[in-house]
Amino acid sequence: MYAVAMTPARGDHEARRAEVSAAVWRVLTERGFAGLTLRAVAGELGATTGLLTHYFPSKRALLRYALDLLDEAHAARPRPHAEAAGPDAEGLAALRAALLDILPLTPESAAGSRIWVSSWDAALADAELAGDHAARYRRARSRMAEFAAAAQRRGELRTDRTPQDLAGAAQSFVLGLVVQALFAPEEFPPERQRSLLDAYLADLAPDRVGSASSA
Amino acid sequence: MYAVAMTPARGDHEARRAEVSAAVWRVLTERGFAGLTLRAVAGELGATTGLLTHYFPSKRALLRYALDLLDEAHAARPRPHAEAAGPDAEGLAALRAALLDILPLTPESAAGSRIWVSSWDAALADAELAGDHAARYRRARSRMAEFAAAAQRRGELRTDRTPQDLAGAAQSFVLGLVVQALFAPEEFPPERQRSLLDAYLADLAPDRVGSASSA
DNA sequence: TAGTACATAACAAGCGTTGGGTATGTACGC
DNA sequence: GCGTACATACCCAACGCTTGTTATGTACTA
């Protein structure tokens, strides 16, 4: 339950930190990094900056924790696409599910995407944040590379590319689609995002022989 | 000539504004948007904030002008890829050239990419800036859609997709590749960016019969 | 009584912006 | 050719405000 608990079991330190992080997310989606101030976060929380400094030593620490938590929450959340593909989906279905999970197909995931895109500026200017991001994307890539390798073994993906190239290319495609969808949501509605992704994946199928024959 | 003229022909208003914009670019590449202050720009220029306010009514105006000028400069710059493909290249070659021009293949274009990615946060929080960006990307997409349509007519691209879908997908792919290259430059060196793009375009070829893709 | 969980208030630093001051031009009547 | 008049191009100093951070006070809990 994500109810807006007034006070979360006084003394529950970790829950309070999570609540603060959620307030950070809200501020980021609404005002971007330029609008992320301690007072804005506190206001979003109905509290004062004194609360924030009680739980976090600095603004940077607060931000890193919020981003970490967002990433974890994304990884741990119920995944409609992954489950639709079956909990132990392998190969192409798993790859497709992983890619779909990145796209801003719902308002909530759009808010999350918005935060990640926004965080790129801060990250590129801060070595530590950049390292966090690089690690995150690398991890996602290697996970997808495993799916791609399995898909190749199953004959679902063309084998004239390495799984790493397939994963890197697919992640590129999806990340770029996220950006475009954020800037032109009416031009890239969920259905089109899905169809573009499926078209992309269809082109990665192994060469079919004789499907349309001509000399 | 891009010499660092000490004073650009006193009275040359526009040249000064361009110089200021260049200083903005430098600050953005080095410190990101969080570090973009009038004092930083002035310091980069060896001047004071008085100079800036003399040429621009506000910081926002200064930023918009700098981004506009960066976009124009990109569009007008000598294009090695476009020229290699021939000045009047059409179809797939033109599309490939346009896509290559977006990738951060050189340190200079990497700096430009860095600025654009950084600007996404500010843009997503500012309707006017977001409009500028959306217009820019839309324009680029429609240009590429024309190339794609020509390529289809020439039999260079598969025809079971609309030119708009092909352009949108290609731009997504390239934008995402830009992001990944910025965060993991050692993993996405220029050669790999190029080969990933070429692999992507190869998959968009019309279905070939019987010729397993040579690789 | 001790400690946690805050609110409150103040701090110095830095921000965008403003306005006054000062050179350095250009225009023009003489 | 020269002095006056005015505009341009800046520097400099200061304004009011916001920022992250710190210190202090206070209520509640155990």
* C-alpha span between B53 and B40 (Å, rounded): 14
* C-alpha span between B36 and B39 (Å, rounded): 8
* C-alpha span between B123 and B131 (Å, rounded): 8
Q: Does the nearest atom of strand C lie within 7 Å of A51's Cβ?
A: yes
State chain A's mean pLDDT as an integer. Answer: 90
* Residues A195 and A92 placed together within one structural domain of the fold: yes
- pLDDT (average), residues B128-154: 97
- Is residue B57 included in any domain, yes or no? yes
Check whether A57 has a pLDDT greater than 70.
yes
Q: Does the nearest atom of strand C lie within 7 Å of A49's Cβ?
A: yes
User: A155 — phi, psi (to 5°)?
Assistant: 80, 20
Q: Does the nearest atom of strand C lie within 7 Å of B7's Cβ?
A: no
pLDDT tens-place string over residues A149-171: 999 999 999 999 999 999 999 99
Check whether A75 has a pLDDT greater than 70.
yes
Contact yes or no for A163/A87 (Cβ under 8 A): no
- pLDDT above 70 covers a percentage of chain B that reads 86
* Residues A189 and A83 placed together within one structural domain of the fold: yes
Task: Tell me the CATH number at B101.
Answer: 1.10.357.10
- pLDDT (average), residues B103-115: 97
Check whether B159 has a pLDDT greater than 70.
yes
* Three-state SS at B56: coil
Query: Which residue in the set A33, A165, A173 is minimally distant from B172, CB to CB?
Result: A173
Check whether A67 has a pLDDT greater than 50.
yes
- pLDDT above 70 covers a percentage of chain A that reads 86
* Residues A100 and A163 placed together within one structural domain of the fold: yes
Distance A77 CA to D18 C1' (A): 37
Helices first, then strands: H and E counts in chain A:
10, 0
* Three-state SS at B149: helix
Tokens standing for residue B111:
């700096």
Q: How many CB atoms lie within 10 A of CB A71?
A: 18
Check whether A24 has a pLDDT greater than 50.
yes
Range in A11-20, B162-171, B195-204 with the lowest mean pLDDT: A11-20
Distance A42 CA to D24 C1' (A): 20
Q: Does the nearest atom of strand C lie within 7 Å of B37's Cβ?
A: yes
pLDDT tens-place string over residues A88-132: 678 999 999 999 999 999 999 999 999 999 999 999 999 999 999
Check whether B211 has a pLDDT greater than 90.
no
Which residues of chain A lie closer than 8 angstroms to B204, CB-CB? 203
Closest CA to B99 of A120, A186, A172: A172
- Is residue A148 included in any domain, yes or no? yes
- pLDDT (average), residues B33-44: 97
| pLDDT classification of B85: cutoffs 50, 70, 90 | low
- pLDDT (average), residues B130-134: 96
Alpha-carbon distance values, B13 to A143, B39, B51, B56 (Å):
54, 21, 12, 11
* Residues B155 and B64 placed together within one structural domain of the fold: no
- Is residue A5 included in any domain, yes or no? no
How much is the pLDDT for A86? 64
* C-alpha span between B181 and B188 (Å, rounded): 5
* C-alpha span between A169 and A151 (Å, rounded): 15
- Is residue A7 included in any domain, yes or no? no
* C-alpha span between A24 and A45 (Å, rounded): 9
Residues 29-68 of A with CB under 7 A from strand D: 36-40, 49-50, 53, 57-60
* Residues A180 and A124 placed together within one structural domain of the fold: yes
* C-alpha span between A104 and A83 (Å, rounded): 18
* Residues A26 and A90 placed together within one structural domain of the fold: no
How much is the pLDDT for B98? 96
How much is the pLDDT for A77? 74
How much is the pLDDT for A207? 79
Contact yes or no for A178/B120 (Cβ under 8 A): no
Check whether B27 has a pLDDT greater than 90.
yes
Q: Does the nearest atom of strand C lie within 7 Å of A195's Cβ?
A: no
Q: Pick the residue from chain A with its C-alpha nearest to B129.
A: A183
* Residues B105 and B58 placed together within one structural domain of the fold: no
Q: Pick the residue from chain A with its C-alpha nearest to B201.
A: A203
| pLDDT classification of A19: cutoffs 50, 70, 90 | very high
Q: Pick the residue from chain B with its C-alpha nearest to A128.
A: B183
* C-alpha span between A87 and B112 (Å, rounded): 42
B187–A138: do the CB atoms touch at under 8 Å?
A: yes
- Is residue B4 included in any domain, yes or no? no
User: Å from A31 to nearest chain B CA?
Assistant: 5
| pLDDT classification of B3: cutoffs 50, 70, 90 | very low
At B90, the amino acid letter reads E
Q: Please give the tally of structural domains in chain B.
A: 2
Q: Does the nearest atom of strand C lie within 7 Å of A44's Cβ?
A: no
| pLDDT classification of B112: cutoffs 50, 70, 90 | very high
- Is residue B148 included in any domain, yes or no? yes
For residue A34, the enclosing domain spans: 12-69
| pLDDT classification of B152: cutoffs 50, 70, 90 | very high
Spatial CB neighbours of B142, under 8 Å, sequence gap ≥ 6: B167
| Nucleotides on chain C within 7 angstroms of protein Cβ | 4-10, 14-20, 24-26
State chain B's mean pLDDT as an integer. Answer: 89
Task: Tell me the CATH number at A45.
Answer: 1.10.10.60
Domain boundary among B70, B91, B109: B70
Which residues of chain B lie closer than 8 angstroms to A102, CB-CB? none
Contact yes or no for A177/B176 (Cβ under 8 A): yes
Query: Which residue in the set A120, A122, A160 is minimally distant from B213, CB to CB?
Result: A160
- Is residue B211 included in any domain, yes or no? no
How much is the pLDDT for B207? 79
* Residues B121 and B171 placed together within one structural domain of the fold: yes
* Residues A22 and A96 placed together within one structural domain of the fold: no
- pLDDT (average), residues B2-27: 73
Range in A82-86, B1-5, B73-77 with the lowest mean pLDDT: B1-5
Which one of B120, B128, B129, B214 would you mutate to disrupt binding with A, by most A Cβ within 10 Å of its Cβ? B120
A137–B184: do the CB atoms touch at under 8 Å?
A: yes
- pLDDT (average), residues B73-93: 75
How much is the pLDDT for A37? 98
- pLDDT (average), residues A209-213: 46
* Residues B30 and B133 placed together within one structural domain of the fold: no
* C-alpha span between B125 and A29 (Å, rounded): 8
Spatial CB neighbours of A62, under 8 Å, sequence gap ≥ 6: A20, A21, A24, A38, A41, A52, A55, A56
A172–B176: do the CB atoms touch at under 8 Å?
A: yes
* Residues A105 and A155 placed together within one structural domain of the fold: yes
| pLDDT classification of B212: cutoffs 50, 70, 90 | very low
How much is the pLDDT for A84? 67
- pLDDT (average), residues B101-126: 96
User: Å from A52 to nearest chain B CA?
Assistant: 21
| pLDDT classification of B89: cutoffs 50, 70, 90 | confident
Q: Does the nearest atom of strand D lie within 7 Å of B48's Cβ?
A: yes
- Is residue A134 included in any domain, yes or no? yes
* Residues B133 and B160 placed together within one structural domain of the fold: yes
| pLDDT classification of B82: cutoffs 50, 70, 90 | low
* Three-state SS at B50: helix
